[in-house]
Amino acid sequence: MDYKAIPKVELHCHLEACFRPHTVMEVGKTLGLDMPRDPQVFHREWLLTRPLANLALALARFVDIQRIWCAEEVIERMTFEACEDAAGQGLRGIEFRYSPDFIASGKPHLDKERIHRAILRGVQRAADLDLAVGLIGIVQKTLPVADAARTVDFIVDCAETFVSLDFADRDTHDLKVYAPMVTKARKAGLHLTVHAGEEPGPGAPSQVRDAIEILGAERIGHGIHILGDQRVIDLVKERNVVLEVCPTSNWLCNSVPSTREHPIRRLMEAGVAVTINSDDPSLFGIDLCHEYELLQREHGFTREEFDRCNEIAAAHSFIKQGL
C-alpha cells in the first residue's frame, strides 16, 4: 500500500516535536550546545525511540528540543519545514498544537506574541502547499491557575489565528477551574480538545468523562483507556466525541505494552470514532506514514479503514476551510 498516496488529515501533532534532525544539529551548534556530528548518534541521544519508565520521563526529552526553538527566525523556519514535511506525506490538512509557555520558558527575549507571529510567518511561507493548517493553543494543566488564565487570554486575543484550545499535561487542578476560561474561548469562536485517558489506571475513564461533561471537550487527545467503562464509552459515542489516537506515542510513553497490543481496533469495534495521529513525530523518529504502515502490519488495517479514519478526521477538524 502506498501510504503517501492516501489523502490524510491529522488532528494531533505537537509542533515543538516536528523538526528535521539536520536543522536541530545546525541550530544547536549556533547555541553552543554539544551537538552530535553523527546523525545516528543524534538519533540515539536526542530522540525517544524506546519506552521510558513513564510519561513524565518521556516529556523530559522535550527539554533539549525546547532550547532549539530559540529565536523568531528559527521558529519560522522550523514551522515552515514542518508544513513542508506534512505535505510531503500526503496530508491535506493538519492541526499543529503548541504551548506558548513551553517555547517561551527560559527565553526572556521571546514572549507569546513574538512566538506566535513567527509561527504564523512559517505557516504563511507554506501557503503554496496543498495543505490546510490550523493552530491549537495548548494550556498546560501543570501551570498555576492564574498563569493558565493568562495563556487562555492570549489565545483568545489571537482567536482569529487559532482554531482551538487544548488542555494538556498531567491534571494538577480540578477541571472545574478551567470552565470559565473555556466559556471565554468559546465566545471567541474557539473549539476544545483535551488530553485525557492517555495513561492506564482506574482513573483514566473518569478523566475522559470529566473533560467531556465539565469542559465540553469535542475531541479527546488519546483517550484510549476508556475501554472497560461502558458508561464512558457510551458518553463518548452519544456526544459524538472523537479520539485522537497516537499508537507509537502510546507505546513509547508506556501507555500500552506494545504497539501490537494497542486498543485502537477494540475501540473501533466498540463504535468509538478514532483518528490516526503521530503526536510527537520527530522526537519519536517517525512520521504519520509510519503509523499507517504499523497499523496495516500489526492490526490488519485496510485502505477502506484508513479512508474512514480520515473521513472522521476531516469531519471533526476545527479547520474551517480548505479540507
Cell triple for 82? 514542518
pLDDT, tens digit, for every residue of 157-170?
999 999 999 999 98
Res 54 pLDDT > 70:
no
pLDDT at 57: 64
User: Rounded to an integer, what is the distance from CA 295 to the centroid of its chain?
Assistant: 19
Q: What does the H/E/C string look like for 71-102?
A: CHHHHHHHHHHHHHHHHHCCEEEEEEEECHHH
pLDDT at 228: 87
Q: Provide the CATH topology of domain 3-316.
A: TIM Barrel (3.20.20)
pLDDT, tens digit, for every residue of 121-155?
999 999 999 999 999 999 999 999 999 999 999 99
> Which residues, in sequence order, are CB contacts of 196 under 8 Å at separation 6+?
204, 207, 208, 210, 211, 217, 220, 221, 222, 223
pLDDT (average), residues 93-102: 98
DSSP 241: P
pLDDT at 51: 87
Res 5 pLDDT > 90:
yes
DSSP 284: H
pLDDT (average), residues 233-247: 98
Distance set, CA 72 to CA 47, 117, 163, 166, 314 (Å): 24, 8, 22, 23, 31
Cell triple for 22? 539536520
DSSP 174-195: -GGGGHHHHHHHHHTT-EEEEE
Per the prediction, the chain carries an average pLDDT of: 95
Q: Is 95 exposed, middle or buried (0-12, 13-18, 19+ CB in 10 A)?
A: buried
pLDDT, tens digit, for every residue of 164-189?
999 999 899 999 999 999 999 999 99
User: Distance (Å, rounded) from C-alpha 280 to C-alpha 12?
Assistant: 9
Q: Which has more pLDDT, 15 or 48?
A: 15
The residue with cell 488519546 is 222
User: Distance (Å, rounded) from C-alpha 202 to C-alpha 184?
Assistant: 32
Res 52 pLDDT > 80:
no
